[in-house]
Amino acid sequence: MRVLDLFSGIGGFRLGMEAAGHKAVGWVEIDKHARKSYEAIHQPEGEWTAHDITSVSDDDIRLLGRERGPIDIICGGFPCQAFSVAGKRGGFSDTRGTLFFEIARFASILKPKYLFLENVKGLLNHDKGRTFEIILQTLDELGYDAEWQVLNSKDFGVPQNRERVFIVGHLRGRGTRKVFPIGRESAETHCKLAGRLALPGKDQWNRVYDPSGLAPTLTTMQGGRQEPKILVTKQGQQIVRRDAATCIDANYAKGLDNHGQRTGVLVRAINDPGRIKKTQNGRRMKEPDEPMFTLTTQDIHGIYDGYRIRKLTPRECWRLQGFPDWAFDRAKEAGVSDSQLYKQAGNSVSVPVIFEIAKRMEIVK
């Protein structure tokens, strides 16, 4: 089916949709750096495109339908900051929240068979559920029956704990196939963190993880820590600092030797060793067997390699979203900076999740 890719970013939706056999015929993205990566990866020469979705007139949309043929699917992860628990949760009172209605405007004119939308899980309970109720009501008024499900990227082959709500709208009377529920692929897709990385607490700000473990949710910031140096030793603990903002607490007598005795070093990366449980969200490592947190826009990610903590590379962040290396290479070769590559990974969708949903989209004869 023919796909219009709104709020396209670097094209995570597009990669998943095309892998499922659909074809993108147009895209909209306002960020110039994301557009540069999108163009390098997908090479969409000759396709319909626009920068600012709010500047596309109704006549422009009608012309798109006439010149490019019928649009079967409109997809997009409309900006989620207005609904995220990490943001101010302004919802429709926030300008970004109203961008959902731009999708509704496109749908009201083009009448695609499917709407395929993504947002943060917090959308479901924002304003006690009233925001999501407005979205469903809007879709109903447009002639779409909606289904939705919260899916976690870690269940689809990528080592990242990233929960997102996916909404599929079905245009009434067009014979579209039901998509949800989708179960996780296999328990084998889950990875475990090394037991030596234990640290109390379960907040969203762990950022250092074992190479064989699950990553936290990707942010759009670059990640990790350089190898630290010891500054002080206090009461049996080594406080290891790299700079004033970040330090590592290496706590002796916390591991197990070959005989089951406590020994060795527990490396803990925190902002301030005296404020682990306070509001600075200082913890950077996960509990044993916990998945990595979601890549978001606000924090720093690292990887635990022996007793050295290094930052994730941009390529690793793209891999955590399921992007193939050739896609990353094209964006990198186009001259996109590392800081933008980190940001683009954090803002993207997980490609394998999109593929699993997209391959279920078909017209029932």
Q: Is 80 an annotated catalytic residue?
A: yes
Is residue 119 within 8 A of residue 92, CB to CB? The reply is: no
Structural tokens at position 264: 């060795």
Catalytic entry in 80, 191, 247, 317: 80
CA distance 50 to 271: 42
CA nearest 133: which of 105, 102, 92? 92
CA nearest 14: which of 42, 52, 53? 42
Ramachandran quadrant class, 269 (left: phi over 0; alpha: psi -120 to 50; beta: rest) = beta
CA nearest 210: which of 289, 264, 273, 157? 289
DSSP character string of 247-303: EEEEEEEEEE-TTS-EEEEEEEEES-TT-TTSTT----BPPTTPPPPBEESS---EE
**Residues taking part in catalysis:** 80
